[in-house]
Amino acid sequence: MAFDKMELEDIEVWDGNFAAAQALRQSQVDVVAAYPITPSTPIVEGYAQFTADGYVEGEFVMVESEHAAMSACIGAAAAGGRVATATSSQGFALMVETLYQASGMRLPIVLNLVNRALAAPLNVNGDHSDMYLGRDSGWIQLDAYCPQDAYDLNFIAFKVSEDHDVRLPCMVNQDGFMTSHTAQGVHTLTDDEAYGFVGEFKPMNDMLDFEHPVTHGVQAEEDWHFEHKARQHNDLMTKVFPKIEAAFSEFEKLSGRKYNMVEKYDMDDADVCVVCMGSSVETAREVATEMRAQGIKAGVVGIRVIRPFPFFEIAEALKCVKAIAALDRSSPNGAPGMLFNEIAGSLFNTDTKAMLSGYVYGLGGRDLTKAHLVALFKELQANVDAGKITTPLQQFIGVRGPKLAYL
Amino acid sequence: MSEMKKIKNLKEFSTSADRFEGANLLCPGCAHSIIVREVLNATNDDMILSASTGCLEVCTAVYPYTSWDASWIHIGFENGSTAVAGAESMYKALKRKNRLKQPERNPKFVSFAGDGASYDIGFQWISGCMERGHNIMHVVLDNEVYANTGGQRSSSTPIGSSATTSPAGRVSYGEKKNKKDIVSIMAAHGIPYAAQVAPNKWKDMVKKIQHGFSVDGPVFINAVSPCTTEWKFDPKDTMNITDLATDSLVFPLYEIIDGHELNITYRPKNIVPVEEYLAAQGRFKHLFKDEYKYLIKEWQDRVDEKWAYLQRREESRV
């Protein structure tokens, strides 16, 4: 079968979906098993076209559901090779059972999760409900803020996930539509550079090694289940961070682009800051800069690695700030938001006296405007000026009707 | 080229090298292990196996032990077929890329699942695998009940059987629905080979399994697997019950080639009345009360009708 390399411009105009599809092609994935769903469909379509045009040597399997997609990915990964897929929202929800199986079986798989709201009401637009749904599934989870990140983080995902000390699947999140369908300039790697970075797949416990039969997916009840789960958690907490750091630094050498567990923006002397994820990070950075012109020392912290959660890096990034807003783009449905809780946990045993408030925003693709963020930074500054939190701990941004505020 | 085993007699068969160890937790008298051995013994080629959640899975791979001397995977209840399809896809990819460690080998990909995992919860996954043309074989260990969880009805449970979720009671004779005709449904995908087999007719079974391994594309096998626990018979009688199943034509043995060409592969010399098959199992005990005896007649009529249908299909060659 013909397998051709592709000539790319140094900078291509790609949306997040196409950037991810190109990264999968350049990583020479052995098996992509997938099922289309808005807004991740163009990743699968793009990859299908690469296959049809002879740029893919691996297998491309269009299955009958997202559950089957991840099931086939698990079978393929256990057989021993590079595996990837893409999905969003309801499809991701359908996959959830198998997500835990993939990670529990310690299989490297890369999943591009193009973030979208979860029904009901049915909604195709971007929020982080699906991302939050998967957060306890035992996967490594990276977050892209723009198409460039979506491209780069796929290479990093393969590198970390397939490392024999890690052997855990990895999600690359990007915002539905805001990132997935918004074309921007993307600095490319050549096919050889990209494949050189991810490297040849090195099998481990591969079913296709007939001289060494292996049993995958055993039963382990109260006598052994806990040890498996504890070891998986231990590896997430202790082994993954150094591998991600190493991959970030190697990628910087290759591309000049530096990623960090926690992306700090103007945080050195910030009094107030927001912590957020996805495309909102870029909006927040722009507004923070504008706030400084108005005399408010604003900063932004973006979470790059959602799982394992960079507990100490977050505390370090926030140690000098006076007021923090945690921005959650998923309905907490009866609790403070996930980011609020994680940040509170990171800071609790430190000396920081920072005030922490939570904001829920952007559900179902509702815009987070610069005006929203200006008001938010001013609210944080008011807290700093008053020396205490002057607003409820949990507020909703940009929702119709009377202002929603709790706690 | 694939390598099939030539086994002349049952003694040779029973002492043949085994990739499925006798050290497992299946009930004494369980037909699952017999069927699995017959499938695995049909070839000398390497095998990639899966089991969907169920008796076979929980009894053969309890950490830190395994009963499998071939690569084996279990993911969940519904997706064992797709697990093997994923592995088969990887095999194709690595073959194309010259990355197989033993490129000269010719592995067979087989997924085992119960009737619950095939007729019910895994139905869509199997259909997907059949439609996409993976080079895999799906084998149903059909004991007509969710045996692993204690005997709940599945869509394979036959009319009149008492299952824990369709129990016989003061005003009920048990299961009300007829068993799903899964072989026809799978054959309707246009797959190269679908067949019904039984462990007592081991030569017929091995022949069908070997044919299944020789074709290019998906293969579906439905194997009757009498369950000593849920069918309620003495463990020593497994093969006797299987004989009654095949010889009463409750489980006719046949094959469907390319989705249409039907061949009956076993014609009992003496057809046993269905009543004898039912009477041998505790799950049908209540049918022998006066008020339910009409159901036994209906059972016989259904079996006769299906047998006549199979013969018409065979004769018409369509």
B61 touches chain A (CB under 8 A): yes
Q: With a cut of 0.95, is the ipTM above it?
A: yes
B25 touches chain A (CB under 8 A): no
Which of A49, A72, A107, A36 shows the shortest CA–CA distance to B93?
A72
Q: Are residues A95 and A126 in the same domain?
A: yes
The reply to whether A274 falls in a domain is yes
What count of CB pairs under 8 Å joins A to B?
Answer: 168
β-strands B137-142, B108-114 pairing: parallel
Q: Are residues A274 and A214 in the same domain?
A: no
Q: How near does any CA of chain B get to the CA of A82, in Å? A: 9
pLDDT at B13: 75
Q: How near does any CA of chain B get to the CA of A367, in Å? A: 38
Chain A window 167-206: which residues touch B at a Cβ cutoff of 8 Å? 203, 206
Domain that holds residue A134: 11-255
Q: pLDDT, tens digit, for every residue of B209-258?
A: 999 999 999 999 999 999 999 999 999 999 999 999 999 999 999 999 99
**Using only C-alpha atoms, what is the Rg of chain B?**
19
A59 within 8 A of A32, measured Cβ to Cβ: yes
pLDDT at A155: 98
The reply to whether A162 falls in a domain is yes
Check CB contact under 8 Å for B61 and A57.
Answer: no
State CA A315 to chain mean position distance.
20
The reply to whether A3 falls in a domain is no
The reply to whether A361 falls in a domain is yes
B79 touches chain A (CB under 8 A): yes
Q: Are residues A311 and A334 in the same domain?
A: yes
Q: Are residues A168 and A305 in the same domain?
A: no
Q: Are residues A271 and A246 in the same domain?
A: no
Q: How near does any CA of chain B get to the CA of A115, in Å? A: 25
Q: What would the two tokens of residue A372 be?
A: 């929203």
Tell me which residue in A31, A101, A215 faces B76 most closely, judged by beta carbons. Answer: A101
pLDDT at B17: 66
Helix (H, G, I), strand (E, B) or coil at A213: coil
Q: Are residues A193 and A276 in the same domain?
A: no
Which of B70, B317, B34, B43 shows the shortest CA–CA distance to B207?
B43
Chain B window 108-127: which residues touch A at a Cβ cutoff of 8 Å? 124-125, 127
**CATH no. for residue A376?**
3.40.50.920
Check CB contact under 8 Å for B82 and A211.
Answer: no
Which of A145, A236, A233 shows the shortest CA–CA distance to A184?
A145
Question: Last residue of a domain, which of A223, A255, A287?
Answer: A255
Sites in chain B below the pLDDT cut of 50: 1
Q: Are residues A156 and A95 in the same domain?
A: yes
pLDDT at B1: 46
Chain A window 358-377: which residues touch B at a Cβ cutoff of 8 Å? none
pLDDT at B11: 81
Q: Are residues A360 and A381 in the same domain?
A: yes
Question: Last residue of a domain, which of A211, A230, A255?
Answer: A255
Give the whole-angstrom CA distance, residue A234 versus residue A286: 38
Domains and CATH numbers, chain B: 10-316 (3.40.50.970)
Q: Are residues A215 and A103 in the same domain?
A: yes
Give the whole-angstrom CA distance, residue A147 versus residue A385: 38
Give the whole-angstrom CA distance, residue A386 versus residue A37: 48
Q: Are residues A315 and A225 in the same domain?
A: no
Give the whole-angstrom CA distance, residue A87 versus residue B281: 48
The reply to whether A4 falls in a domain is no
Which one of A1, A27, A61 would you mutate to disrupt binding with B, by most B Cβ within 10 Å of its Cβ?
A: A61
How many CB atoms within 10 Å of residue B8?
Answer: 8
The reply to whether A347 falls in a domain is yes
Sites in chain A below the pLDDT cut of 70: 1-2
Question: Last residue of a domain, which of A219, A237, A255?
Answer: A255
**CATH no. for residue A93?**
3.40.50.970
Tell me which residue in A61, A64, A220 faces B89 most closely, judged by beta carbons. Answer: A61
The reply to whether the predicted model has a pTM over 0.90 is yes
Q: Are residues A179 and A282 in the same domain?
A: no
Q: Are residues A297 and A201 in the same domain?
A: no
User: Which residue does chain B place closest to A225, by CA atoms?
Assistant: B63
A215 touches chain B (CB under 8 A): yes
Which of A26, A22, A28 shows the shortest CA–CA distance to A57?
A28
Name the domain count of chain A: 2
